[in-house]
Amino acid sequence: MKVARHEKIMELIEQYDIDTQEELAARLNEAGFKVTQATVSRDIRALKMTKVAGENGKSRYAILKENSSALGDKYTRVLHDAVTHIDVGMNLVVIKTVPGMAMGVAAALDALNWEEILGCIAGDDTVMCAARTPEQAEAAQQKLRNILKIKN
């Protein structure tokens, strides 16, 4: 069932500019898949979906293609386009983004597989990345600042 649902999700995001989990859940339910927002959230992470700018300027979901040779550039572009502020509190890196882009930033950071970052949690415009130590959080912040060419 999960494989069929994932295939339907890929079909739906190609066909429609879907920009919320609720809209995706509604379209899946219309297609005969009984899903909750929590299920859709897990599917989004499993499929490595992120939000990108649509043709009309509105954000929409897209699937990151891992086999692309330019993948690092795509992640860097997402970070450049979305991140507005970075700060550290103990072992957490707190990243502010433009509204609606936190999940894309979290997915990009997760995909970069930095040893300093254990994992990321995203809201609408804030990402919290956990590190094991305050030193690793500082190192992750510095890496991100270097990518974004932000001076300390």
Q: CATH 3.30.1360.40 region(s) of the chain?
A: 71-148
pTM: 0.55
What CATH number should be reported for the domain whose range is 2-63? Answer: 1.10.10.10
* Spatial distance between the Cα atoms of 118 and 95, rounded to a whole number of angstroms: 15
71-148 CATH fold? Gyrase A; domain 2 (3.30.1360)
| pLDDT tens digit sequence for 46-103 | 888 888 776 666 788 887 655 443 446 677 788 888 999 999 999 999 999 999 899 9
Q: CATH 1.10.10.10 region(s) of the chain?
A: 2-63
| pLDDT tens digit sequence for 134-143 | 999 999 999 8
- The Cα angle at residue 118 between residues 141 and 144, in degrees rounded to 5: 20
